[in-house]
A and B are shown apart, each in its own frame.
Chain A
Amino acid sequence: MLNKNLNQKLFDKDVEQIPTRNGYGEGLVVLGEENPNVVVLSADLTESTRAEAFSKKFPERFIEIGVAEQNLATIAAGLGISGKIPFISSYATFSPGRNYEQIRTTIAYNDSNVKIAGAHAGISVGPDGATHQATEDIAIMRVMPNMKVIVPCDVIEARKATIAAAKIWGPVYIRFGREKSPVLTTETTPFIVGKAQLLWVPSEKRKVKKPDVLIVGCGPLLHNALCAAKALEDEKINVSVMNVHTIKPLDEDSILNHAGHAGAVVTLEEHQIAGGLGGAVAELLAKKLPLPIEFVGMEDTFGESGKPNELIEKYGMGVGAIKDAVKRVIKRKTQSV
């Protein structure tokens, strides 16, 4: 049963589809109006990271760096310790990819108030191929002290996350996708950094006391999770779907509560299964509540060129793959009892 706070048309064939990076662009403009200290830096990707609207509206607070991601991070570091709130815009493979050490030393360890926007994350980047498909960025950012990590699931959440990032002190990494993806939330869906949210729970009509599995996901792939949840219901398998948009700080209480309730977990992300959301959830459960987990994501491999949906299917993150993972984990759950 779909959470009432969500877009009730999200299962429609003609569901509205917008890239999450657009939400970043919209959020920047809102912030530009609200706060004169917000500045935006771009490394020659102003249009495609959607920083363009801000650059036109607030040219005196927009800084073009050129193709130089290390400079992007370090100039922002200087601004961030001088009272500004810099947002740095590039593709995630370059920032936080190429400039990892600069982010570590001059932003995170330096506790500079910089917000890192990594666009074109995940394999759904599509035809550009693996060089441009960031599938390790969540891992490298979440292990960094002082860093917060947010992965919005749709354009509206992306806008809210961008605005929220400016209002919390310190370094934040926000991940955006290139491809159009279904609008899952609405203007009134609550969004609080660090607070996970159930998108789907077993239907009341089914009179089940608890779900069989908790699916924990982040990003636009949550649409596939919801489609899987709906399809599984027809097969009399009951799941809950949780949106963990904030990977760090992780909403441990909500995850433990609902994972414990279900007794088994499937994690889902457009990222390597090692080190990302799945890794974070596994660390938590191993420490506090060991349960069977299955991981849906990139299996220690790079992507390739192709259409976004073809890639999602080929690399095992489609609706079918999620359903299979749910069934696998249920089997393990009954075996372990």
Chain B
Amino acid sequence: MTYFHEDELKYLEGVATRIREKIIEMLLEAGSGHSAGPLGMADIFTALYFNVLRHDPKKPKWPDRDRLVLSNGHICPVQYVALAYAGYFPLEELMTLRKIDSRLQGHPHRGTLPGIETTSGPLGSGLSQAIGMALAAQMDKKKYWTYCIASDGEHQEGNFWEAVMFAGKNKFLNLILIVDRNNIQIDGYTEKVMQLEPLRAKYEAFNWHVLEIDGHNIEDFVDAVSEAKAIYEKPTVIIAHTIPGRGVSFMERDYLWHGKPPTKEEAERALLELRTLGKRIESEHE
């Protein structure tokens, strides 16, 4: 088990809350975009950019950096905010999301914004791109890790399972897949739209090592990554159970918040809740 100093954990949880606040602010400003997914993944993005990844925001093209592929590009607001807080670009730029001439495209585009490793949005194609990056690392004898974040809904894409099959056969040891298991997609709850369960059994049948965690527990996530790195004979998937809209009570678990931004009034309520949450975290660690 990873030992986190209490101060460090408190710091990371504080970052996650600040990321959530900024997501609400930028979605309000943008007037369109996805709310639930980005809020649900704020803890994991915090853990990645502020603890797990080997990266240097001042050198976004450093050849030995760990790669993070966001397959479900529509949750990019959380990645944009994490990148900005990590120092890849100025925080003010977040307010240009989805606006003309912005580097913050509605879905991520490689080549304009530092820290974005690939273009994504159309679902089901991120894992295979991550596989390509991991293959390149193997050929070049490089030590970097490739992480792929995918949604649960995109497991309905054929391309996704082509990639799962390929990685299982080729026993990738430098690839870690993180699945945001939040149970929602645009048309409703995943099991109602198109059943994904038994997800664990499916991965195991494809020769993957499977870990399941609470996606809001940063310590658990960091532990899972450590375990994944110790598994040599199989690629590892971390199925992170998350609550969509996490941190904003009226968005939590409601699929209707998958693809829309808050109104001004809703944003104010959300920010109030998040700021209260921030204080609660501080008091828990006092």
- Shortest Cβ distance from residue A274 to the other chain B in the assembled complex, whole angstroms: 26
Q: Out of A82, A84, A101, A105, which one reaches B120, CB within 8 Å?
A: A105
- Shortest Cβ distance from residue A131 to the other chain B in the assembled complex, whole angstroms: 19
Establish whether residues A66 and B118, one from each chain, have CB atoms under 8 Å apart when the complex forms. Answer: no
Of A67-75, A117-125, A173-181, A324-332, the one contacting chain B is: A67-75
- Shortest Cβ distance from residue B114 to the other chain A in the assembled complex, whole angstroms: 14
B8 near A: Cβ within 8 Å? Answer: no
- Shortest Cβ distance from residue B235 to the other chain A in the assembled complex, whole angstroms: 14
A134 to B109, CA, bound (A): 31
B142's nearest neighbour on chain A, judged by CB, is A82
Contacts of B122 in A (CB 8 A): 101-102, 105
Establish whether residues A65 and B119, one from each chain, have CB atoms under 8 Å apart when the complex forms. Answer: no
Name the residue among A39, A75, A102 with the largest chain B CB count within 10 angstroms. A75
Of A24-32, A106-114, A194-202, A251-259, the one contacting chain B is: A106-114
Contacts of A86 in B (CB 8 A): 132
Contacts of A61 in B (CB 8 A): 139
A110 to B120, CA, bound (A): 9
The proximity string for B residues 47-65 relative to A, scoring 1 for CB distances below 8 Å and 0 otherwise, is: 0000000000000000100
Establish whether residues B136 and A105, one from each chain, have CB atoms under 8 Å apart when the complex forms. Answer: no
A83 to B137, CA, bound (A): 10
Contacts of A74 in B (CB 8 A): 125, 128-129, 132, 159, 163
B135 near A: Cβ within 8 Å? Answer: yes
A77 to B132, CA, bound (A): 7
Establish whether residues B110 and A102, one from each chain, have CB atoms under 8 Å apart when the complex forms. Answer: no
Contacts of B84 in A (CB 8 A): none
- Residues facing A in B115-137 (CB within 8 A) are 117-122, 124-125, 128-137
B170's nearest neighbour on chain A, judged by CB, is A63
Establish whether residues B139 and A75, one from each chain, have CB atoms under 8 Å apart when the complex forms. Answer: no
Contacts of A76 in B (CB 8 A): 132
Q: Out of B69, B119, B165, which one reaches A105, CB within 8 Å?
A: B119
Q: Out of B118, B121, B128, B136, which one reaches A83, CB within 8 Å?
A: B136
What is the interface of chain A mostly: helix, strand, loop, or mixed?
helix
B162 near A: Cβ within 8 Å? Answer: yes
Contacts of A70 in B (CB 8 A): 124-125, 128, 158-159, 162
B189 near A: Cβ within 8 Å? Answer: no
B89 near A: Cβ within 8 Å? Answer: no
Contacts of B166 in A (CB 8 A): 65-66, 68, 71, 75
A82 to B65, CA, bound (A): 11
User: How many A-B contacts if CB must be within 8 Å?
Assistant: 99
Establish whether residues A84 and B128, one from each chain, have CB atoms under 8 Å apart when the complex forms. Answer: no
B7 near A: Cβ within 8 Å? Answer: no
Contacts of A39 in B (CB 8 A): 139
Question: Given that A71-B162, A106-B118, A110-B119 are contacting pairs, would A77 and B139 also be in contact in the complex, using a CB cutoff of 8 Å?
Answer: no
Contacts of B136 in A (CB 8 A): 78-79, 82-84
- Residues facing B in A38-96 (CB within 8 A) are 39, 60-61, 63, 65-66, 68, 70-71, 74-84, 86
Question: Given that A74-B163, A109-B119 are contacting pairs, would A81 and B125 also be in contact in the complex, using a CB cutoff of 8 Å?
Answer: no
A76's nearest neighbour on chain B, judged by CB, is B132
Contacts of B140 in A (CB 8 A): 83
B111 near A: Cβ within 8 Å? Answer: yes
A204 to B111, CA, bound (A): 54
Contacts of A68 in B (CB 8 A): 162, 165-166
Contacts of B133 in A (CB 8 A): 78-79, 81-82
Establish whether residues B117 and A63, one from each chain, have CB atoms under 8 Å apart when the complex forms. Answer: no
A110 to B128, CA, bound (A): 14
Contacts of A77 in B (CB 8 A): 118, 125, 128-129, 132
Contacts of B110 in A (CB 8 A): 81, 110-111
- Shortest Cβ distance from residue A37 to the other chain B in the assembled complex, whole angstroms: 9
Q: Out of B117, B121, B129, which one reaches A75, CB within 8 Å?
A: B129
B159's nearest neighbour on chain A, judged by CB, is A70
Contacts of B111 in A (CB 8 A): 110-111
- Shortest Cβ distance from residue A47 to the other chain B in the assembled complex, whole angstroms: 21
- Residues facing B in A289-325 (CB within 8 A) are none
Contacts of B121 in A (CB 8 A): 105
Establish whether residues A75 and B118, one from each chain, have CB atoms under 8 Å apart when the complex forms. Answer: no
- Shortest Cβ distance from residue B158 to the other chain A in the assembled complex, whole angstroms: 7
B121's nearest neighbour on chain A, judged by CB, is A105
On A, residues with C-beta under 8 Å from B are 39, 60-61, 63, 65-66, 68, 70-71, 74-84, 86, 101-102, 105-106, 109-111
> 9 A–B contact pairs at CB < 8 A?
A61-B139, A70-B124, A74-B132, A78-B129, A78-B135, A83-B136, A84-B139, A109-B119, A110-B111
